[in-house]
Amino acid sequence: MPAERRVRAGEVEIAIREWNGAGRDFVLVHGLASNARTWELVAQGLSAVGHHVVAIDQRGHGQSDKPESGYGFEEVTSDLAALIEAMGLEMPIVAGQSWGGNVVVDFASRYPEMLSGLVLVDGGLIDLSSRPGATWETMAIDLKPPNLLGIERYEMVARFRGFHPMWSDEQIEMQMGNYETLEDGTIRPWLSLENHMAILWAMWNQRPTELVEGLTSPLLIAIADSGPVERRLTRVEEAQRLEEMRPDGVRWRQFAGAAHDIHVDQPDELAGWMLRAVEDGFFGR
């Protein structure tokens, strides 16, 4: 079982789940409106061979502090840098899923000396403003999260079972960590609507492709085989382009049949791919 604690990271306290080990340091960063527990099975796979793994709740999420402001990339990457420094982690391999991928790309562009490499899990290249015909006004409407206040917990569990009928109880509970369960049995997202929209605004103004092109860190790109075909093809084309630019520094893979949450849906396959990259020296020695 992982140890759970909170670590002071600059102006906020960040909740972490930690698996001790004498091998490489890994830091695992969740996506928008998600939580550290979604990395549980990947972390177990990395820890099983002796690596030290830290999964975090980003500010506003899970058990971490929830300030009313500070949800731009400058602040969330500063949190990550302060956490790594406070924990004394040595050049960790940093993985991020979805928005978390965009966070770790931004982190690597600001703090290149603090990491050994990146793993982007169906994220990191999400450029909201590049979508054809998109405006912030339309995007804010399209991506506004549903109102889940008052939903019974058992009903949300049933929804997840409907979305992912092959998932185990453990996988579903990992996703249920996105919500606080209230005394009356209903749920409430840990991330407030206001902070959710602030993060989307930061993503709207980010140009992740430009950031990735400037990185020198080794880069693994995991692509989910789900969602609109055009979007999947675009992700593959972008990964291929980056690999051509840096053939020794970029690897990518499309995970057949995987949901957007590859780390929940196919954790053994993802952890195994990451471990093979470590074993063959892709992230250095």
Asked if residue 135 is part of any domain, the answer here is: no
Asked if residue 173 is part of any domain, the answer here is: no
Would you say 35 and 62 are in contact if contact means Cβ atoms under 8 Å apart?
Answer: yes
Would you say 30 and 263 are in contact if contact means Cβ atoms under 8 Å apart?
Answer: no
Quick one: pLDDT band at residue 146, thresholds 50, 70, 90? Answer: very high
Asked if residue 197 is part of any domain, the answer here is: no
The whole-chain average pLDDT of the chain stands at: 96
Asked if residue 148 is part of any domain, the answer here is: no
Asked if residue 144 is part of any domain, the answer here is: no
Its domain, for residue 43, covers 3-128+207-279
Quick one: pLDDT band at residue 1, thresholds 50, 70, 90? Answer: confident
What is the rounded average pLDDT of the residues 189-202? 98
Residue 62: which CATH number? 3.40.50.1820
224-263 pLDDT, tens digit each: 988 777 777 788 999 999 999 999 999 999 999 999 999 9
Asked if residue 254 is part of any domain, the answer here is: yes
Asked if residue 211 is part of any domain, the answer here is: yes
| Residue 9: closest CA among 78, 106, 82, 77 | 82
- pTM here is 0.97
Asked if residue 35 is part of any domain, the answer here is: yes
| Residue 16: closest CA among 4, 2, 29 | 4
The pLDDT of residue 160 is 97
The whole-angstrom separation of Cα 108 and Cα 116 is: 10
The pLDDT of residue 232 is 76
DSSP E strands: which ranges in 197-246?
219-224
The pLDDT of residue 179 is 98
Would you say 38 and 177 are in contact if contact means Cβ atoms under 8 Å apart?
Answer: yes
What's the structural domain count of the chain? 1
The pLDDT of residue 163 is 95
